[in-house]
């Protein structure tokens, strides 16, 4: 049974392991680079001090952390935030968990945080993620040409967004 909760310090070693796994990072809009556990502990401490700017949820299956789903860069004036997700446990990928987590965080963002717009970036070759986002009503806003250096080359990044009324009317 999938559950959601705020990330806690005990989650940091798993998150760090995923961020150091090239296979997990392959389809994300982050460059792969080795990140020390202490750097991720500092990242978590920063989050704890700035919780008004982000919602970082753990995705848990049977008490096991399997991923995270997040709203970051929360802008209260413009009522928008950036969405991201990572299913770090590979044996839990492609099982519909990303859909459940996306539904949960979008509902929370629009209904509880009173956001008007949620946006994301995605690699254009990540067809599975794009299909998921489009199924929720995300629309392509543009293409950032050769905006990310990944795997030894520059690659495009697609921007997408979803408005509250689009989410509620689907």
Q: Residue 46 sits in a domain of what CATH number?
A: 3.40.630.30
Q: How far is CA 126 from the centre of its chain?
A: 14
Nearest Cα to Cα of residue 115 among 107, 125, 123: 107
The number of folded domains in the chain is 1
Catalytic residue among 34, 47, 133, 144: 133
The SS3 assignment for 149 reads strand
The tens digit of pLDDT for each residue in 117-159 reads 999 999 999 999 999 999 999 999 999 999 999 989 999 999 9
Query: Which residues of the chain fall short of a pLDDT of 50?
Result: none
Q: Where are the alpha helices (DSSP H) in the chain?
A: 12-19, 22-25, 37-49, 97-107, 127-135, 164-169
Give the pLDDT confidence score for residue 32 in this predicted structure.
Answer: 85
Give the pLDDT confidence score for residue 75 in this predicted structure.
Answer: 97
**Is 133 noted as a catalytic residue in this protein?**
yes
- Domain span including residue 33: 2-169
Within 8 A by CB and 6+ apart from 134, the residues are none
Give the pLDDT confidence score for residue 31 in this predicted structure.
Answer: 83
């Amino acid at each position: 049974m999938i559950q959601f909760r705020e990330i806690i310090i005990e989650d940091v070693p798993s998150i760090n392991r995923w961020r150091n796994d090239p296979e997990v990072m392959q389809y994300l809009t982050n460059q792969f680079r080795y990140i020390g556990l202490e750097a991720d502990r500092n990242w978590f401490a920063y989050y704890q001090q700035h919780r008004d700017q982000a919602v970082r949820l753990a995705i848990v299956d049977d008490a096991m952390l399997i991923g995270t789903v997040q709203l970051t860069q929360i802008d209260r004036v413009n009522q928008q935030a950036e969405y991201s997700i990572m299913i770090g446990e590979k044996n839990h990928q492609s099982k519909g968990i990303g859909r459940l987590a996306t539904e949960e965080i979008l509902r929370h963002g629009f209904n509880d945080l009173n956001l008007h717009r949620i946006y994301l970036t995605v690699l254009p070759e990540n067809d599975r993620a794009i299909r998921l986002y489009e199924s929720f009503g995300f629309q392509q806003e543009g293409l950032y040409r050769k905006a990310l250096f990944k795997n030894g080359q520059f690659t495009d990044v697609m921007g997408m967004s979803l408005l509250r009324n689009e989410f509620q009317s689907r």
